Structure 1
């Protein structure tokens, strides 16, 4: 009997994995595939940059807002029902985005896609985590990252082909097969769970939390464009602060709060959350900077830049799977600390790039960056879940999603602001040290002029073209120096993250070796050893 029960459990966990991972693939496509379609969408609807950015910003904000309430919602309707509702909504909104008739309708459906997809992401991870025995939960988190890496790998590549050969609308139907597969398997495999009795709706908490998160994320994502000192951005920050204070006050007194603030009295959870914030802000900020640098400084085409970035996404997925499995056998802090150190070192080497650096070196640094992320992500997810009792994992997973969402917005905003400031500083410094009439500059202009004359250029245009060429060289040097400063700052952020990562030691322990299997009930198999 024990052998039969164990075999059934072993088979069941892989069916649950198939159900949840196909849903994770659906949400991953929703995040990454649309990026390559933005120029075509602008042309199709006659939209400007301010309108098109809401296709991405609206999705990211709406995805983050429901995350803190996932634990409360799961208690209200049950985890299985919440996951099905979220996945059905996200899959349907994907199709509706492809059928949108105006810019306004597309933005609306993208906002709904993010809001409805949040439960599919957060609750799906918890369902997968608890379907595996404690000794294999790192493997489960590694599988999430492996499937998630297909989004940035396949999404822009296949999506770019569909946009070019068919229509931008086709990319929104890319996720339908995996979404439908996940829904069918979930209905068939995952058992119903009972909602918690007496659960009431915390309307004041839900309202104040929503206003706080929307105001904060709007301020962070629009601060660079509107101006950080503008009345609009300052008002958003003021609203966020006021409603955050109100939210904290309400959650302390209501009987069934949206967020249990006691989770933040768990030192290991707080320490892991700090690491999550720092490395997600750094990772997303790095991706932003690298994508810009490849096209602006090294003059790569979008396709060439994509080919440089694609191998890193593949490596990230496989290393994430390996690191997750490793975290089942050793202290999860070890791969996390190694990954943070590798990321910091990689950022230092990024800061050392020059205009003469080859594409092979840049590709290697990108692969190292994504590999370091894989070393961090899976073990840290495993470690963070271990810090929480089973009844708090739904809410902990939701808060984990909020930390990641706010960190992503903060990382891009900080890196874009820093890049702008350092460009200005290095422009002034270069102007101070290179006079137009200094001898080295004159020699450079003469050399450019001789080269252009030998190439057959019209003599009257040689002086103008020489100045333009020299100006472009100076501009690229300024840009390269500014990017180097940004990468050094990111290296420092990852070094700082080593401290809270190490301090999770009080609660995070390697999983104990499982005892010989015995016949147990399905409920007992879900508990930690």
Structure 2
């Protein structure tokens, strides 16, 4: 028997929304843990499989790219299968692939596992925002999102620290079984607390659009990587770029003409949603780019072990968790534009500080600047979520939640790939020496700071309507 939110609220009483929030937090924590802990294991994986950074970065970008396209399946899956079955499918497949990763004998097998896990994460992540908006009244959404953000940020707080310790003592395989206990807990809680109601007439899934988008994203990321290895002008690089651009154009052409588009372009008729999308892309670049860049910098330039690199990131996660709660509380009281601009400036200052400190800086100084960046991200996340979704109608909410998360993940996938290519380019251009590598990372931090400064203009124009769109 299918159960909707109203039936579950009647069954579990006044505290139902809190229990549901807890389940959503645990499920999202497992996905965030999977996306971030791999970064402290990259040097060990590169050593064990004998691969370079350009191939190893696919363990991160492959996950993020697959999650990006998987996000667009989330609204269809929720309508077709219901939220409960969507969660069970996503987490069940994630658990299976985590176990298969332990059997990998080649780098491409690990990359394939990460791509499948990215799709699973794309199915699971949007459930949280949609159900929080529907189970909490408009006046409490900011606080609920802040609590959710604070809880979810426990994963990148403890993940690199625990993951780094496990990598030092048990090898890189440990990062694949680390999220499994939370996956099992979310599966059990979701069976009782997640709504199972389905849309009796779900929209048809546009498989052509999904295939075109997947092809565009992976070929363009592949072109960036090949350009660094072979250079622009090489037939393989140019072929990937042309194929990716063609697939991207075909995807938008089909989306404009489809009755049930995979990515409803009408969402961007709202000026605030357009501006929020730009900020979301830059936020993704900073969030995932810095999470990728900092552990790599600490291990390859500073000479830290995986455990010590994770230890430095531990305080930054605490700051991010507290700042996310503060950002959610403030988003119910201050304008989204003010919070977004403040968060962007604070994060840009952090990246500039890391670029200035660079090689030879003390543990405490690096930890301080990294923590400043997490403060900025904590202010950004709840304000971006509330401002982008408040202006949408109830019918647009599921697609809007997926779309804004899509833009953030797209920024993350592109950002990690661009940073990898940029650092390799500057490293080689500087003579491929140890000093050149340190300088390349320093310039990478400055690049991220510049992108966040540029995002201030669209952020200042973001205005939420503050209307109640709860179902």
User: Normalising by the residue count of structure 1, what TM-score does the alignment of the two structures yield?
Assistant: 0.78
Cross-structure match for 1:374: 378
Counterpart in 2 of 1:246? 250
Q: Rate the CA distance shift 1:309–1:480 in 2: closer, same or farther, 3 A.
A: same
Residue 84 of structure 2 is aligned to residue 126 of structure 1: no
Task: Decide which of 450, 459, 468 is 1:492's aligned counterpart.
Answer: 450
Q: Deviation per CA, 1:395-428: give whole Å up to 9, x if none.
A: 2222223322221232233334444555577779
Q: CA deviation at 1:137?
A: 1.4
* C-alpha displacement of 1:102: 5.8
Gaps of 5+ in 1: 429-471, 513-524
The equivalent residue for 1:60 is 64
Equivalent residue number for residue 98 of structure 1: 102
Shift of 1:325: 1.9
* 204 and 289 in structure 1: CA distance in 2 versus 1, 3 angstrom threshold: closer
- Aligned match for 1:192, one of 190, 196, 208: 196
Indicate the residue corresponding to 1:327 in structure 2.
Answer: 331
Counterpart of 1:48? 51
Matched, 1:501 2:456: no
Structure 1 position 310 matched with structure 2 position 314: yes
Query: Which position in structure 1 is the counterpart of 2:238?
Result: 234
2:125 alignment partner, SS class:
helix
Say if 1:295 and 1:302, in contact at 8 Å, map to a contact too: yes
After TM superposition, the structure 1 stretch with the greater mean CA deviation from structure 2, 381-390 or 281-290, is 281-290
Q: 1:286 to 1:15 in 2, by over 3 A?
A: closer
Please give the TM-score of this superposition, normalised by the length of structure 2.
Answer: 0.86
Deviations 1:257-303 (A, max 9, x none): 22211112121111001001122213433444444444454444443
Q: Which string of whole-angstrom CA distances, capped at 9 and with x for unpartnered residues, describes residues 436-487 of structure 1?
A: xxxxxxxxxxxxxxxxxxxxxxxxxxxxxxxxxxxx9xx64x6665555444
CA displacement at 1:18 relative to structure 2: 1.5
Range that drifts further, 314-323 or 153-162: 153-162
Measure the CA separation in 2 of the matches of 1:41 and 1:422. Answer: 23
Give the alignment partner of residue 34 of structure 2, picking from 30, 55, 58.
30
CA change 1:279–1:172 in 2 (3 A) is closer
Once the 2 structures are TM-superposed, how far is the Cα of residue 496 of structure 1 from its aligned partner? 1.7
Deviations 1:43-64 (A, max 9, x none): 76x5534765544343233222
Alpha-carbon displacement from aligned partner over 1:188-236 (angstroms, at most 9, x marks no partner):
1222223141632323323322322232333345543443443323222
Q: Who is 2:4 aligned against?
A: none
| Matched position secondary structure for 1:504 | coil
Deviations along 1:153-209, whole A, 9 cap, x unmatched?
A: 322322333344445444433222211221222221222223141632323323322
Matched, 1:215 2:219: yes
> 2:225·2:421 contact (CA, 8 Å) conserved in 1?
no
Aligned partners of 2:22, 2:393: CA distance in 1, in Å? 25
- If you compute each CA radius of gyration, which structure gives the higher value, 1 or 2? 1
1:363 aligns with 2:367: yes
Q: Which runs of 5+ in 2 are unaligned?
A: 1-8
Trace 1:72-471 onto structure 2 (pairs within 5 A).
Answer: 72-100=76-104, 105-166=109-170, 168-197=172-201, 199-353=203-357, 357-420=361-424, 422=426
Residues 64/219 of structure 1: CA separation in 2 closer, same or farther (3 Å cut): farther
Query: How many angstroms apart in 2 are the aligned matches of 1:356 and 1:177?
Result: 38
RMSD (CA atoms): 3.2
Larger deviation, residues 224-233 vs 325-334: 224-233
Displacement of 1:498 after TM fit? Answer: 1.2
Rate the CA distance shift 1:221–1:320 in 2: closer, same or farther, 3 A: farther
Distance 1:192 1:145, change over 3 A: same
Deviations 1:104-134 (A, max 9, x none): 5544333222212211112233223322221
Q: Distance in 2 between matches of 1:355 and 1:112?
A: 36
CA contact (8 A) 1:331 1:510 kept: no
For residue 15 of structure 1, report the CA deviation from its aligned partner. Answer: 1.0
Distance in 1 of aligned mates of 2:356 and 2:107: 42
